[in-house]
Copies of this chain bind each other. A is one copy, B any other.
Amino acid sequence: MKKFFSPQSIAIIGASTKSESIGGILVNNLLANNYHGKIYPVNPKYNQIKDLVCYPAAKDIKKEIDLCLIATPAPTVPGILADCATLKNPIKNFIIISAGFSETGPEGKKLEQQIADLAKKYSLRIIGPNCLGIINTQNGLNASFAPNNFLSGPIGLIAQSGAFAAALIDLGTRENLGFSCLATIGNKTVLDETDFLTYFANDPKTKVLGLYLENIKRGPEFLSVLQKICQKKPVIIIKAGTTAKTQAAIITHTGAMAGDEEVAESLITDCGAICAHSLSEFLGYLKIFSYFKAPVNDTTILITNAGGPGIIAADLVAKSSVLNLYEFSAAEKFHLQKQSPEASSFGNPLDLRGDADHTRYETVIKELSKNKKIGALIVLATAQVQTNIPAIWRTLFAAKKYCPFPIMPVILSDTIASLLTPDIPLANFDDPLYAVQSLEKYYLWQNKKNININFGKSAKIAATRQKKNNQYLTQVKNRQRSILLYSEASHLAASYNLNILPAQRLNSLDPQTLTYPTVLKIDSDQILHKNKEGGVILNLKNSEQLSIAAKTLQKKFAKTDLIVQPQSEPGLELIIGLKKDNNFGSVIMLALGGIATEIFNTKIFFSPLGNTRYFENKIQTSPLGQLLDKQGIKLQTVIENIQKVSALANENPTVKELDLNPIIFYPDQPPIIVDIKVILE
């Protein structure tokens, strides 16, 4: 990867003298930032571009080439790759800027497959196609057709959308946010987010990572790398393309399939990364990790020259589930009042009054900086008649040096725009919301680093069981069925000691073993939603009621098997489920069952590779955990069942979906699974 970000020599295939064409912009961008490597434009049309010799083809360069940019029409790309890969000094590293691949349809998809095949054959490392290129601000390398107005700084950006990167560069200039490296990864035929994540983990200039992703190519590897890097560096992720409708947009955009946002957010957060839900959030998180110290603890002080905005900010801290408002002791108030008698209130917010100048800010900040109990300081300022915003800005910057906790400026004034320049390396939050939210995330990230809830490196597999189940499921599949019957699903589940409520077929019923009340239901590999379709009759109290019910169902569902189960005792109805996610493979879900399922939409997703501590931690911190607690149900019992389903998921990759719904938990007896559905791929 070093050859990409610090190449000694670059060839540009499709270079151009036209400064508005992509081939022209690429040459200009490489020349514009004092990049010191060798630059070889390639285009048979020209002998010279700017002051550079232009070569007819890559083979004519006859020098070692660290990196090759390709900006020619899509159909020419496979040929160019093959040529470059078979030179005497073969080229191994490519950035394919060209569009016109899988994002455009079947034809493009074929071309992209050719690229993938060539990469495999010749061990090529390729970024793109359909990308903007990469930038390394540390050595002036702009190997992209992005604008040249980027600032240098601590952010490593990985973007699946080139336009997103371009917008970030532009907004970065406005917000005074600088980048170490930017990588746009396009269709990620060869190199993907996981490769760049790995690289940025070890890049010393990159202190914080920002990712824009629409899908995740190698989900499990991504999580594994992410988990490691989050122990050292904060990673902010904006995951777009969440909904079915938007997925259509993604297919036409980079030809990728989008995954389920909720699962992605859950697993990404498990790894210690931070999900941003809007551009404003994303910028806020990049700001705090770029410029500010870590909060020393969760107590926060607000100082302000403006009552209203101070109260808005204090509301946010007071409502936060992470931060707390610091409360001054009487002695502290007395002392502060002596230092700054002009301030009107020594509560929180500490109101410096509308006529506060920068020295009043400074006096109070200096005083507070000595207080070891303070975790962070949020400083608000509005431009009132006597306010000198530039002087306050410089005061806040100076305070960074002597103050042990972060000082976050919330300057609510138009004046700030002209102050946000690299001369003063500091960022401003122009809404208290994003200052507080960012502080929360910094605090959580810092403390999460210490929680070790590693995913298992590889799942434990019980080989004999796996083999048996595999044979069993293959038999079902051979019968051209993907939905298992109740008896089949029960058979599978039983091999994991899942406690499925027994069922007898109505037509082979042993009346001796039958107890009332009982439940009659259909058992079908066609009708998935039995309940909804009226295929379940509950609470049958005697044989008469049972036979009436049987006639009803037989009439309604001709040729469908009927099964009889004992009626279960009421308890806490939960769902444990398993789903193959587009991005991450098998994931496990724990949710509230019964009638409230859809209304409260309370669910937790797990990786089936998680350890016990991971399951414990996720349930305990959720509403479901509180519910278990209130009902006196042992957390351990729930976890055991999740682990059984995890084992089933890990050993049976052909299971596409599984539902234990409901699994009823009790305070004083083992849980019972009343119904099970299994769907194969």
Contacts and interface: CB of A to CB of B under 8 A. Distances in A.
Interface of A: 20, 25, 99, 103-104, 145-147, 159-164, 166-167, 170-171, 173-174, 212, 214, 238, 240-246, 248-250, 252-254, 261, 277-280, 304-312, 314-315, 318-319, 325, 327, 344-345, 347-349, 351, 354, 382-386, 412-415, 417, 430-434, 570, 595-596, 598-600, 602, 623, 626-627, 630-631
Given A174-B414, A413-B170, A347 B248 contact: yes
Nearest to A572: B595
A315 B599 contact: no
Given A253-B351, A385-B145, A412-B279, A160 B315 contact: no
A311 B246 contact: yes
Among A99, A249, A308, residue most surrounded by chain B Cβ atoms (within 10 Å):
A308
A261 B349 CA distance: 19
Contact of A164 (B306, B414, B599): B306
B171 A307 contact: no
A383 B253 contact: no
Contacts of A166: 306, 354, 382-384
Given A164-B308, A166-B384, A170-B383, A242 B318 contact: yes
Contacts of A160: 308
A174 B354 CA distance: 21
29 contacts: A99-B344, A147-B383, A147-B385, A159-B308, A160-B308, A161-B309, A162-B354, A163-B310, A164-B306, A166-B384, A167-B383, A170-B413, A170-B414, A173-B414, A214-B308, A214-B311, A238-B312, A242-B319, A243-B315, A243-B318, A243-B319, A245-B325, A246-B311, A249-B351, A252-B347, A252-B351, A279-B312, A280-B280, A599-B626
B414 A163 contact: no
A67 B150 CA distance: 54
A595 B252 contact: no
Contacts of A254: 307
A351 B82 CA distance: 32
A86 to B, nearest CB: 33
Copies of this chain present in the complex amount to 2
Nearest to A173: B414
A631 B595 contact: yes
Query: Which of A245, A248, A430 has the most CB atoms of chain B within a 10 A radius of its CB?
Result: A245
A163 to B, nearest CB: 3
A163 B327 CA distance: 24
A408 to B, nearest CB: 15
A402 B240 CA distance: 33
A307 B161 contact: yes
- Across the A-B interface, the 9 shortest Cβ-Cβ residue pairs: A161-B308, A163-B306, A164-B308, A243-B318, A167-B382, A174-B414, A278-B433, A252-B345, A167-B412
Contacts of A20: 385-386
Contact of A246 (B163, B314, B626): B314
Contacts of A248: 347
B382 A306 contact: no
* Max chain B C-beta neighbours (<10 A), residue from A212, A412, A602, A623: A412
Given A385-B145, A431-B279, A630 B599 contact: yes
Contact of A600 (B311, B318, B415, B623): B623
A310 B250 CA distance: 10
A312 to B, nearest CB: 5
Contact of A170 (B159, B163, B348, B412): B412
B309 A249 contact: no
Contacts of A434: 280
A360 to B, nearest CB: 15
B599 A307 contact: no
A303 to B, nearest CB: 12
A235 to B, nearest CB: 18
Listed residue (A167, A212, A347, A434) with the most chain B CB atoms within 10 angstroms of its CB: A167
Nearest to A245: B318
Given A163-B354, A245-B314, A279 B309 contact: yes
A62 B428 CA distance: 52
Given A386-B20, A417-B174, A246 B278 contact: no
A467 B243 CA distance: 59
B600 A280 contact: no
B382 A249 contact: no
A601 to B, nearest CB: 9
Contacts of A309: 161, 163-164, 167, 279
A13 to B, nearest CB: 19
